[in-house]
C-alpha cells in the first residue's frame, strides 16, 4: 500500500525515525529542490545566451559582461554539484541509509535534515570534520 502525506505534513519526533512517512517527506522535499535548481539553471543559461555583450565595442562593457558570466557560471557549477548531492540523498532514501551519519551510523536527526536535507553527517561528526579542516587551514 502506497503511503501518502499531506502537503502540510512535517515529520515529528514521536514517529519512528526514518519511517515511510519521513522518507516520503524528504524524497518530495529533495525532488522539489532539485526541480527548482534545474529550472533556475536553465533560466540563467537561457538569459546568458540572450545578453551577450562580448561583441560590444566598449572594453569596459566587455570586461563587465565577462565578469558577470564568470560569476553566473560558478553559481551554475555550484548548483550542479548540489544536484549531485540531492541525487545521492535520493539514492540513500531508496537503499534505506538516508538520515544516518556516514561516519558514526547514528541518526542525523529530523531537525537537521529539515534544515539541510543533503546532510550526510550528524552534528558531532560535522563539527569534528570542520575542526579538522580548521586545523589544516590554520597550519
Rounded-to-integer distance, Cα 127 and Cα 20, Å: 29
| In a domain? residue 3 | no
**Do 93 and 72 belong together in one domain?**
yes
Distance in angstroms (rounded) separating the CA atoms of residues 53 and 85: 34
pTM over 0.75: yes
Tally of residues, the chain: 139
Contact 124, 117 (CB under 8 A): no
Mean predicted confidence (pLDDT) in 110-116: 95
Mean pLDDT score across all residues of the chain: 86
> 77 and 38, same structural domain?
yes
Q: How many domains does the chain have?
A: 2
Q: Measured between alpha carbons, how far is 92 from 18 in angstroms, rounded to an integer?
A: 12
Helix axes 59-94, 20-50, angle to 10 degrees: 160
Amino acid at each position: 500500500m502506497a503511503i501518502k502525506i499531506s502537503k502540510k505534513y512535517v515529520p515529528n519526533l514521536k514517529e519512528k525515525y526514518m519511517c515511510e512517512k519521513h522518507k516520503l517527506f524528504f524524497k518530495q522535499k529533495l525532488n522539489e529542490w532539485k526541480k527548482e535548481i534545474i529550472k533556475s539553471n536553465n533560466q540563467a543559461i537561457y538569459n546568458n545566451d540572450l545578453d551577450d555583450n562580448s561583441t560590444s565595442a566598449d572594453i569596459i562593457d566587455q570586461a563587465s559582461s565577462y565578469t558577470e558570466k564568470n560569476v553566473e557560471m560558478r553559481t551554475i557549477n555550484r548548483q550542479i554539484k548540489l544536484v549531485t548531492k540531492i541525487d545521492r540523498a535520493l539514492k540513500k532514501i531508496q537503499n534505506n541509509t538516508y538520515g544516518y551519519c556516514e561516519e558514526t551510523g547514528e541518526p542525523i536527526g529530523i531537525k537537521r535534515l529539515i534544515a539541510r536535507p543533503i546532510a550526510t553527517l550528524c552534528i558531532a561528526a560535522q563539527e569534528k570534520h570542520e575542526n579538522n579542516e580548521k586545523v589544516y587551514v590554520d597550519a
